[in-house]
Amino acid sequence: MNRHNERYSRLSKMGSIKRSCIFLLSLFCLFLIFGSFNGSDLLGAQLPSGRKANPSENILLVAAASNLRFAMEDIVDEFGKAFQTEIQVAYGSSGSFTAQLMAGAPFDLFFSADEVLPRKLISKGLALEDTLYRYGTGRIVLWVSNGSAIHPEREGMKALLHPSVHKIAMANPRHAPYGAAAVAALKNTGLYESLRARLVFGENISEAAHFVRKGSAEIGILSYAHAVSLPLKDDGRFWPIPATSYPPLNQGAIILQQSRNVPLSKSFINFIIEGLGREIMKGYGYKTQKDSR
């Protein structure tokens, strides 16, 4: 059989419209492939360390507990202005970050919501030994949206027993320290057993805030920093849970062993514990102090 004939019959079988479809589709794919590799991005994304190419290494990759989101955004802005650096922050629950760091996640700094997880990372040899800094002590609050019939600012913890409360949003106590503090506060006031079935858990404190803001939950146990943040402060009312009813949320930061820029990491931490960052942290309701261990 003639090879030329065969090819001809194959092409005619496919029909011109289908052929043009395939042509368009392959054009589209080429466009996507080349469009997405803009400039040095191809090299950058596949550098051994998984970082973008940056000759000066003037860039920090930070893992931060969710309660820090709003304070950290302000701090990064100010720090970037003062030091001409780029700081990229990923937010999540401290427990998830600890698991990711143990699996080799390429962060320079880790701002946890407690001090237990950073110590664990130090003991595993993943963080620099003398770098556990207590950068702030957090607080938890009861938060309801503006239109709610629940009044935590008058009733305190009893507001949780209000008949309109079907769901109480909080962070997952298994891996988020703010969730663990919320459970401790409930246990301390003797409400835990009776309210247990109404608790809904966000992956982290931000997800819990999202639940209660959208009305999926009537009341939430959130961080003070979330309650006074720009998206939430005009939307609702809050009542700080007395600090005596849960173990203090002392938050620790560490510099990780694989950090490529330890001096810059140190100056970022210093900016937060004694520089302008400290004022920003205070503005979001964190208690701050200078001592570092």
Partner 1 sequence: MNWDAFWLSMKLASITSIILLCIGLPLAYWIARSSWRWKFLIEAVVALPIVLPPTVLGFYLLTAMGSRSFLGRFYQEMTGSPLAFTFGGLVVASIFYSLPFTIQPLSMAFSAVDECLIQNAWVLGRSRWMTFLTVILPLSYRGVITAFILSFAHTVGEFGVVLMVGGNIPGITRTISIDLYDQVQALNDQGASETALFLLVFSFLFLSLVYFIDRKKDRKRVTVQFD
Contacting positions for partner 1 (CB under 8 A): 1, 6, 10, 13-15, 17-18, 21-22, 25, 29, 32-33, 35-38, 45-46, 48-52, 61, 66, 69, 88-92, 100, 102-106, 204, 206-207, 209-210, 213, 229, 231-232
Q: How far is the CB of 193 from partner 1 (least distance, A)?
A: 30
- Shortest reach from residue 154's CB to partner 1, in Å: 26
Residue closer to partner 1 by CB (options 91, 284) is 91
User: Please, which residue, 229 or 250, has the CB nearer to partner 1?
Assistant: 229
Question: What is the C-alpha to C-alpha distance for residues 272 and 75, in angstroms, rounded to an integer?
Answer: 8
15 vs 247 by CB, closer to partner 1: 15
Nearer to partner 1, 101 or 157 (CB): 101
- For residues 60 and 261, is the Cβ–Cβ distance under 8 A? yes
Q: Are 162 and 149 in contact (CB under 8 A)?
A: yes
- Looking at the Cβ atoms of 53 and 82, the one nearer to partner 1 is 53
Q: How far is the CB of 45 from partner 1 (least distance, A)?
A: 4
Give me the least distance between CB of 33 and partner 1, in Å please: 5
Place of tokens 């938890």: 140
User: DSSP for 19-71?
Assistant: HHHHHHHHHHHHHHHHHHS-TTHHHHHTSTTSPPP-TT--EEEEEEEGGGHHH
Residue number with CB closer to partner 1 (100 or 270): 100
What's the token pair of residue 135? 């950068």
- Beta strands of the chain (E only): which ranges? 59-65, 86-92, 109-111, 133-138, 140-145, 168-171, 199-202, 219-223, 236-240, 249-255
Using alpha carbons, select from 286, 223, 254 the residue that is nearest to residue 62: 254
In DSSP notation, 235-264 reads TEEEEEPPGGGS--EEEEEEEBTT-S-HHH
φ/ψ region of 156 (left if φ > 0, alpha if ψ in -120 to 50, else beta) reads: left
